[in-house]
Amino acid sequence: MSVLFINACVRKESRTKDLADHLLTQLNEPYEEIYLNSINFPVVDEDFLVKRDRLIADRDFSNPMFDLAKQFAKADSIIIAAPFWDLSFPASLKQYLEQINVLGITFYYTSEGIPEGLCKAKSLTYVTTAGGNFFPEEYGAGYVKALAQSFYGIPEFRLVKATGLDITGADVDAIIDSVKKNY
């Protein structure tokens, strides 16, 4: 099984990364990690889109701009670790998603204009933490879930989350350990 681990954690002592590491250990499978903060994403401007659209129209996916999308599409299982920031996730994850959302690699459109997934993965697990208890799932995690199921064809979406970590008096270790016990 090929596992792709997409790491959108920024801090060295990331609680989200700690949860993801626990999940990866429990999975006990080799995995390939993409650390998003180490990627210098291109600016998605008109020139970029013109080039990308031309290559897609020609079905020429040999350009390195498609490498991340091809890697994502061939993974059997995907784990994304991203802290809950500003009702969403770090900008690097949005940049990554823009790079992998490629017609002809991760999805196609039916004759009715409905996206259908081309990805091999059967599951995507989204790992996150939040300082407070305000965690509307339709933001951040919900966006990734919609892409996974509606565009990429990944049927199973799992959310692993620990919230309330920065509330005065919170026992952070107990909260994290409680989540870890379930995985």
Furthest C-alpha separation in the chain: 58
Which domains does the chain show, CATH number per domain?
A: 3-181 (3.40.50.360)
pTM of the complete model: 0.95
8 CB contacts (<8 Å, ≥6 apart)? 36, 37, 80, 81, 82, 83, 89, 90, 92, 93, 96
Distance set, CA 27 to CA 12, 31, 177 (Å):
23, 10, 17
Per-residue DSSP letter, 42 = P
Per-residue tens of pLDDT for the chain, all 183 residues: 799 999 999 999 999 999 999 999 999 999 999 999 999 999 999 999 999 999 999 999 999 999 999 999 999 999 999 999 888 999 999 999 999 999 999 999 999 999 999 999 999 999 999 999 888 888 899 999 999 999 999 999 999 999 999 999 999 999 999 999 988
